Amino acid sequence: MSSDLFQNPLRRLRKKGDRRPTVPVKELRERDRRRMLRHFLELEDSDRLLRFGSVLPDEQITNYVNGINFSRDMVFGVYNRVFRLVAVGHLAFAPRDESSTVTEKERVAEFGVSVSRSARGLGVGSRLFERAAIHCRNSDVDTLYMHCLSTNKTMMHIAKKAGMEIHRDYGEADAYLKLLPADPSSVLQEALHEQFAVLDYTFKANKRIAVKWFGKLIRRK
């Protein structure tokens, strides 16, 4: 059943023999805010703790989603085959600390991710992180941070897999990754990933509209 979560008409583009589901990661915009809110509100208390460091009540989660600045930060998402948002990655940019010895760039970025229970174990979090990292490279940001609880095994796995330097303190962990500068390959890669995700998004959105229309037609009969 899990292999159908991200089913799309472009799956034939995968390499032969690759049985993993395709996970298109799309840039989210203002129009996706309502679906983002639903995604976060559906997280269980344990998942909210891992994502935000505390069990945020619905009101605070609503304020968080409504406060996301899409003109400053980047938000990425994954839609499943029934056009439901099942994962969100928030890439927040901030001026670097002047006392920092890690980077000389003007900005740094911090990444946070949440994945619905139905989409776990498929590498979705790692794909979101990879998309965030390549966007940082192409935006002249060479340092990507993650802050989470040390007990967050998923984030720790992503951090270790990416080769991030991890510092643990009082039950929490800070990890950062030094990124290579942008090059033509990284720019093309990001553009292709977004184009693929847009095509996938359009297909799923149109399919959902068609299903609704067909359902209404049947009910009229």
Q: What is the pTM of this model?
A: 0.85
Q: What is the pLDDT of residue 221?
A: 59
Instruction: Provide mean pLDDT across the span 118-130.
Output: 93
Q: What is the pLDDT of residue 9?
A: 39
Across all residues in the chain, what is the average pLDDT?
88
Q: What is the pLDDT of residue 1?
A: 38
Comparing 217 with 17, the larger pLDDT belongs to 217
Q: Of the ranges 75-79, 110-114, 141-145, 166-170, which one carries the lowest mean pLDDT score?
A: 166-170
CA distance 45 to 42: 9
Task: Using the structure block, give the residue that is written with the tokens 């948002």.
Answer: 85
Confidence check: pLDDT of 44 > 90:
yes
Q: What is the pLDDT of residue 14?
A: 46
**CATH number belonging to domain 26-97+104-211:** 3.40.630.30
* DSSP string over 122-153: SSHHHHHHHHHHHHHHHTT--EEEEEEETT-H
Extents of the domains making up the chain: 26-97+104-211
Instruction: Provide mean pLDDT across the span 21-44.
Output: 93
